[in-house]
Structure 1
């Protein structure tokens, strides 16, 4: 279980790379990869009894959900804010 931190780190770095893209589709994938990394960090945090990390990842998960929804095109063509 301790090895979970390594895939979590790799997925987090990949997500950051994708979110920085100017391509909407790549950014969207980045948010989903960030959410996967949040889950991996929560699993590792639970094993390590790192409860502050778990709370942080839950907050970041909520922000990533928001980011993914804001990345979608709006119905009226205006930017989502």
Structure 2
């Protein structure tokens, strides 16, 4: 497998990580929400790597913005008490 093929494959784990993250962020439990934000951050990194290879500059810019929002979400989630 070439490096280009490997990077092209990254769109699939990026997509799966994004879906799992969206599911977890919707949880009422702070611990699960935190895992969701961390999954989103992983997906942001994977999408950026894939986007560089594909020259998808708008996608990269979007992922950087979403990464910053996910960092904010992680911080705000840690500041709130768990209702359970």
TM-score normalized with structure 2 length: 0.86
Q: CA RMSD in A?
A: 1.1
Residue 72 in 1 paired to residue 78 in 2? yes
- Richer in helix (by share): 2
Write out aligned runs for 1:39-58 (5 A). 39-58=45-64
Cα displacement (A) at 1:73: 2.8
Higher relative contact order (CA 8 A, sep 6+): 2
TM-score normalized with structure 1 length: 0.89
Determine the C-alpha separation between the residues in 2 that align with 1:55 and 1:73.
28
| Structure 1 runs not aligned, ≥5 long | none
| Structure 2 runs not aligned, ≥5 long | 1-6
Displaced runs of 4 or more, over 3 A:
none
Give the match for residue 17 of structure 1: 23
